[in-house]
């Protein structure tokens, strides 16, 4: 029986979790966000980590880039916040949908990850 909730996807074995997550997104027409991936305990691939690190750490010091990269590599195990739902992956890659101040919100997300 297909998963109805992200918590059901998170309870599956790690080998089946990624395909169940993709099926969940397709079946219910949901967006692929960092928040959903953390809820479903689905990790990020190396390309995803690289794209998100570059998106979140433009013009940052190497230390900050490494801290954010390390947090993203351990994405299923980090604390989940609602603002992670604004980090969206589509066919062109990862993007951030800002509410008001893009730079302030990116800084806030970076601080949560670091």
In sequence order, the β-bridge partners of residue 33 are: 88
Residue 1 maps to a domain: no
CA–CA distance, 18 with 44 (Å, rounded to integer): 10
Residue 114: per-residue pLDDT: 82
Number of structural domains the chain divides into: 1
Residue-number span of the structural domain to which 62 is assigned = 6-113
User: At 57, phi and psi to the nearest 5?
Assistant: -120, 30
Asked whether residue 62 is domain-assigned, the answer is yes
Residue 110 has pLDDT above 70, yes or no: yes
- Which pLDDT tens digit goes with each residue over 61-90? 999 999 999 999 998 888 999 999 999 999
**pTM for the whole structure:** 0.89
Helix extents (H) in the chain: 6-10, 14-28, 34-39, 46-56, 62-73, 102-113
Distance in angstroms (rounded) separating the CA atoms of residues 24 and 19: 9
């Amino acid at each position: 029986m297909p998963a109805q909730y992200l918590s059901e996807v998170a309870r599956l074995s790690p080998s089946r979790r990624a395909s169940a997550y993709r099926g969940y997104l397709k079946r219910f027409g949901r967006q692929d966000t960092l928040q959903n991936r953390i809820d479903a305990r689905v990790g990020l691939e190396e390309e995803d980590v690289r794209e998100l690190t570059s998106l979140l750490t433009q013009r940052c010091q190497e230390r900050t880039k490494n801290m954010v990269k390390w947090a993203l590599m351990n994405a299923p195990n980090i604390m989940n916040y609602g603002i992670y739902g604004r980090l969206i992956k589509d066919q062109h890659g990862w993007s951030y949908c800002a509410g008001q101040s893009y730079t302030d919100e990116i800084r806030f997300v970076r601080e949560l990850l670091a």
